[in-house]
Chain A
Amino acid sequence: MDNQLISTTQAVDPVFIFIFGACLVMLLGITAAMILFVVRYRRSRSPEPTSDRDGSLWLEIVWTLLPTLLVLAMFYYGWSGYLTLRTVPKGALQTKAVARMWAWSFQYENGKTSDKLYVPVGKPVQVNLESKDVIHGFFVPAFRIKRDVVPGMKNHVWFVASRPGSYDIYCSQYCGTGHSAMIGKVEAVPEAQFTAWLNEAKEEKEGDEGMAHEVFEKFGCLGCHSTDGSQKVGPTFKGLYGSKVNVTRGGKKETVTADDGYLTESIKTPAAAIVEGFPPIMPAPEGITDAQVKAVVEFIKGLK
């Protein structure tokens, strides 16, 4: 790692320590004075007030000026730390995070896509943020970074992972039913490993299953639909094919069999028939091909 490079965590943590420290001193001071006065001047011990002093110009000046200086220091310190967060080091690796309800996907300059953000340890990474629907928030607590992902707006963050490891990405801006399930990962790996991963030829899984996984990655389907029977925001894929499903279509309730036709319709126009007990919130996957839809249907068939 470049020794001159200050990580976002290193820029922010001293500011936390400074402000928390100053706050703790103030809080202890105020509390101690209150307790001391209440004990010392309680009515049983001090039946009459021993002073009727109602102000002091000097005290007012002192306790106006001192907090002013203190908060100015906090402002300055906070601002300079913030500048580090906003100043992307030269030569940072360029990546893009695409947010949609409710999944993250990541893209690299060579066109590689991934559902995890792989990064090389010790190298600065710039993440350009793009939203496909509503406002999301890209938040990695371990790096102290956060930025809203606003549709139609160019936002970015940067960070450097000092140690290899796996770090959580949360969505910090409330975005609906699946908000808290919108968790991604930063995978920090040694640079050589990263380069190999970035340049490896696309792992072509055979046939439909490979294509289905490509679709899942691109549209974030598995953010809401599980493949193991557990309940998420949408119905699970497991055991779905051939089952009887209660849906509401055009305001009327009906029971249908989940066959090829039904599944194809539900993927291409999700709003047409809404499964009972689930919210009508799935966006239609823009630009999905018939071959891709077929691949997903075949994949679901396989999950008995």
Chain B
Amino acid sequence: MSSDATVTPVTGGFWEDTGKRGIASWIFSTDHKRIGLLYLYSVLGFFLVGVFLGVLIRLELMAPGPTIMTAKTYNAVFTVHGVVMIFLFIIPGIPASFGNLVMPIQIGARDVAFPRLNLLSWWLYAIGAVIVLTSLFTGGGAPDTGWTFYVPFSARTGTNVSLAVFGVFVLGFSSILTGVNFVTTIHRLRAEGMNWGRLPLFVWSLYATAWVQILATPIVAITLLMVIAERTLGVGLFDPSRGGDPVMYQHLFWIYSHPAVYIMILPAMGVISEVIPVFSRKPIFGYKMIAVSSVAIAAAGSVVWGHHMFTSGMSDTAVMVFSFLTFVVAIPSAIKVFNWVSTLYRGSISLEAPMLFALSFILLFSIGGLSGLILGAAATDIHVHDTHFVVGHFHYVMFGGTGFAFFAAAHYWLPKFYGRRYKEKPAIVAWALMFVGFNVMYFTMQVLGMKGMPRRYFDYLPEFARLNFVATVGSWILVTGLIIMLVNLWRGLLKGEPFEGNPWGGASLEWITATPPPTENFEEDPVVTHGPYDFKRAGEP
């Protein structure tokens, strides 16, 4: 009998042991793994929406002049691309999906500290997302302000900014609640023997991230309410003719939105700190420095927001201080990179899919980080600020960094939760295409920015035409790789070869429990006796 005809869905563990089935067993579940998967599919769905819009942007820019849409549509497309990617994909991305899936298991807990609050977070995320989506098709139509909602433009435009901004406001609560939940969980629910020095670095990174989520998110929430007040009541908070100040908005916005960059990248660094030692079979180099640097990045990253505003007209003293602090933040990031690379030294390196994504993370993140030095230095920032150089820079960090780490996490952890695995060869082909397409696209953008092409440009002068065409071709290669990767993951996880035990030899706690893990994660609460990278003792708790 053909095995294809009767595809057995995923079985065992938390998929079955509650005896409940159907949609209600998911959207009302308080199991952190089910909530993690809910988040995973929600954020992936929005990621695909964002990718589609991104492809449209590149198609429009393929040639000068109007190509496939009008200027007004283009402005809405890049705004929605930004809003969806930032607020609906990358901020909740790794922490809410893989953080929820893996973190409680890694610390030996049965669940997070507040399981029902965890479910509420997902519901708030879903409600916020629905509000944002509604704003695209109601009122004056999709917002056309850019994801930064700068006043006074956002206070004047006829598009549906108020509703979109309110959606983001609701999403903020989801993020804050996840932060509270994770901080409490990591403090209170560690298994016996799981002291702070034995926490996996992924958990350390989530811990640092959670504090940023708790402390910074309320500021953007208030700021967005101010935009709504400005639009509906005409308060004049940001209107100079009524004593307001448009630059004040930028300060308030970036006080959150720069730390938000670390909400996006820190968990990604945590993933890399897990994958590299496992596939090198060697303890992570500089555990303490990596853990401390996560906290240092979270702390120092909270006081560098002004580097988004060197041209805004704020005082030269402020430019000096923010430029200095920005360089300070570069140091802990460099320390992490050096420690990751040193972990490879004299290891036994296996280039499987998670490792390829992790190694390319180091490279792409380094390019993104180093180009950030150009943006941190006051003199050079002035030339490249608000150009395609910045667009290239943050895609290197956010997509080449966080995106590739997300894919590394997917290839590393999802087989554990599905009990089935993807095929290795297509995964490697997909990775190679994505890596090449990515660099063709975003490196070209950085060159365009150096030549002076501003960002958020619907049209451009003929001298930028050739490079824009190259970047668009890069986007096709990238998307081809992405599709192969997703199809391979999807097919593999649903009907691939069984995945059992601990094939990669991981030493953290998720590798000692059953595959897939049972609802409360362990048959009996583990008593931890060694660190997460003590591979000689992999298999023992």
Contacts and interface: CB of A to CB of B under 8 A. Distances in A.
B458 A170 contact: no
Contacts of A133: 152, 156
Contact of B349 (A38, A86, A141): A38
Contacts of A267: none
Contacts of A37: 341, 344-345, 347, 349
Contacts of B158: 279-281
Interface stretch (B28-36, B122-130, B164-172, B371-379): B371-379
Interface stretch (B226-234, B329-337, B472-480): B329-337
A202 interface: no
Given A78-B379, A82-B319, A137-B311, A172 B153 contact: no
B380 A15 contact: yes
B359 A34 contact: yes
Contact of A26 (B289, B347, B370, B452): B370
A64 interface: yes
A26 B372 CA distance: 13
Contacts of A53: 283, 285, 346
A229 interface: no
A118 interface: no
A210 interface: no
B198 interface: no
A172 B454 contact: yes
A71 B373 contact: yes
B295 to A, nearest CB: 15
Contacts of B337: 30
A189 B324 CA distance: 39
A193 interface: no
B280 interface: yes
Given A41-B346, A150-B247, A153-B240, A27 B367 contact: yes
Interface string A47-84: 11111111110011001100110011011011111111
A150 B313 contact: yes
Contact of B312 (A42, A74, A150, A181): A150
Contacts of B146: 174
B378 A47 contact: no
Give the interface size bracket for B toward A. 35 or more
Contacts of B459: 180-181
A68 B286 contact: no
Given A42-B349, A50-B346, A153 B378 contact: no
B458 A153 contact: no
A172 B387 contact: yes
B348 A47 contact: yes
Contacts of B156: 133-134
Contact of B346 (A51, A56, A135): A51
Contact of A168 (B144, B311, B461): B461
A231 to B, nearest CB: 8
Interface string A8-34: 000110011001101100110011011
A279 B140 CA distance: 11
Contacts of B380: 12, 15-16, 19, 78, 81
A60 to B, nearest CB: 5
B237 interface: no
A9 B533 CA distance: 51
B348 to A, nearest CB: 5
A195 interface: no
Contact of A74 (B341, B366, B376, B383): B376
B299 interface: no
B334 A41 contact: no
Contacts of B313: 147-148, 150, 153, 155
A89 interface: no
Contacts, number: 263
B312 A148 contact: yes
A155 to B, nearest CB: 5
Contacts of A55: 285-289
Contacts of A171: 454
Interface centre among B330, B331, B536 (most CB of A within 10 A): B331
B112 to A, nearest CB: 30
Contacts of A148: 311-313
Contacts of A52: 282-283, 536
Interface in A65-117: 67-68, 71-72, 74-75, 77-86
Interface centre among A42, A64, A133, A179 (most CB of B within 10 A): A179
A170 B452 contact: yes
A146 interface: yes
B241 interface: yes
A151 interface: yes
Contact of A46 (B312, B328, B349): B349
Contact of B382 (A48, A68, A145, A280): A145
26 contacts: A16-B374, A16-B383, A20-B374, A23-B371, A26-B366, A34-B362, A37-B341, A37-B345, A38-B344, A41-B344, A41-B347, A49-B282, A53-B285, A56-B285, A56-B286, A59-B338, A60-B286, A64-B335, A67-B331, A81-B379, A135-B152, A139-B454, A176-B157, A180-B457, A183-B461, A279-B158
Given A71-B373, A175-B153, 14 more contacts: A30-B341, A33-B341, A38-B359, A46-B348, A55-B285, A71-B327, A71-B331, A81-B379, A82-B378, A133-B152, A171-B454, A174-B456, A177-B71, A233-B71
Interface of A: 11-12, 15-16, 19-20, 22-23, 26-27, 30-31, 33-34, 37-38, 41-43, 46-56, 59-60, 63-64, 67-68, 71-72, 74-75, 77-86, 133-135, 137, 139, 141-142, 144-148, 150-153, 155, 168, 170-181, 183, 233, 279-281
